[in-house]
Amino acid sequence: MTSGLRSHGAPAAYLTFPSLEAVGLAHAVTTRHCPGIASFAQPISPEAPRAPFGEEASAILGGAGLAMGRVSYARQVHGAEATKAPAGGGFAGSVDVLVTAERGVPLAIFTADCLAIVLYDPAKQVLGLAHVGWRGTVRGTTHAAVRAVADLGGTATSLRVAIAPSIGPCCYEVDEAVTGELAQAFGERWTAWAKPSRAGHVMLDLWAANETLLREAGVAPTSIENPRLCTACHPELLYSYRKGHRGRLVTVAALP
């Protein structure tokens, strides 16, 4: 059910990627069984930002080697802006890509269908996390994330990349308003990432789209781990906004 991801806890409170474990990156992807994560009913306010982690979540994620007292997070706005996380953690602004070269500073991205993408250069010790939905795909967030890591000294060809559980092409139906934006951004090639469903609608594969964009940005195909675990297919484990859930998953990682 977890498609190669490692489960931690019973029931699983968080998941980890074998490829990132292999290179010593502390990280976690929470499930619905991890308490103390802010929900969509508790949006992050840029005027009065408050860390969206309770004591229970901090304790659980601390067990994954993440110092949540230094966590950096953002108000995600479905854009392509990137920023360097504050050295001591805390609110990083209204952006969708966070990067750091500071050891022990966790970066956090919140999702409930969108992709959370982890980008790690183990040689140069640079880390990035990105939030990418269909809007981010159209706006170039994936390329922006690779560039932001490169700006801190990382190299695209050296990156280890992981894509967290997110909505799959089995469940992600979009209409002409979305496909029109895809066509404007990518021309006809967007059709390789979709299959027709009912009239005026397609089933969109954001995984395939962003894997393609990562490769075009210089990431080696063999360095991309994607468990292809659909949030909408696994309500017993994950939250899905499309399924009406108000909870959020969080993907967190920190340089060793």
User: Is pTM, for the whole model, over 0.85?
Assistant: yes
Range 232-239 average pLDDT: 97
Give 220-231 pLDDT, tens digit per residue: 999 999 999 999
Output the CA–CA distances (angstroms, integers) from residue 24 to 50, 62, 99, 226, in the order listed.
Answer: 29, 15, 18, 18
Distance CA 199, CA 13 (A): 40
pLDDT at 2: 66
Specify the pLDDT at position 44: 78
Confidence at residue 51, expressed as pLDDT on a 0 to 100 scale:
74
Give residue 1's pLDDT: 53
In this predicted structure, what is the pLDDT of residue 47? 65
CATH number for the domain formed by residue range(s) 6-167+207-254: 3.60.140.10
Q: Read off the pLDDT of residues 84-105 as tens digits, 9 standing for 90 and up.
A: 999 999 999 999 999 999 999 9
CA distance 14 to 141: 25
Q: Residue 46: what pLDDT?
A: 73
How high is the pLDDT of residue 48?
Answer: 61
Q: In the prediction, which pLDDT does 39 show? A: 87
On average, the pLDDT of the chain sits at: 95
Domain boundaries, given as residue ranges, for the chain: 6-167+207-254
Picking from 109, 113, 65, 61, the residue whose alpha carbon sits closest to that of residue 83 is 109
Q: What is the mean pLDDT of residues 159-186?
A: 98
Going by pLDDT thresholds of 50, 70 and 90, the confidence category of residue 20 is very high
C-alpha dihedral sign at 89, 129, 186, 200: negative
Query: Would you mind telling me the total number of residues written for the chain in this entry?
Result: 256
What is the per-residue pLDDT for 100? 98
Statement: residue 165 has pLDDT above 90: yes
pLDDT of residue 43: 74
* Contact between residue 68 and residue 100 where contact means Cβ atoms under 8 Å apart: no
Percent of the chain with pLDDT strictly greater than 90? 93
Residues 187 and 204: their CA atoms lie apart, in Å, by 15
Q: How confident is the model at residue 193 (pLDDT cuts 50, 70, 90)?
A: very high
What is the average per-residue pLDDT within 77-82? 98
**Which residues have CB under 8 Å from 122's CB, separation 6+?**
23, 24, 25, 158, 160
pLDDT at 56: 96
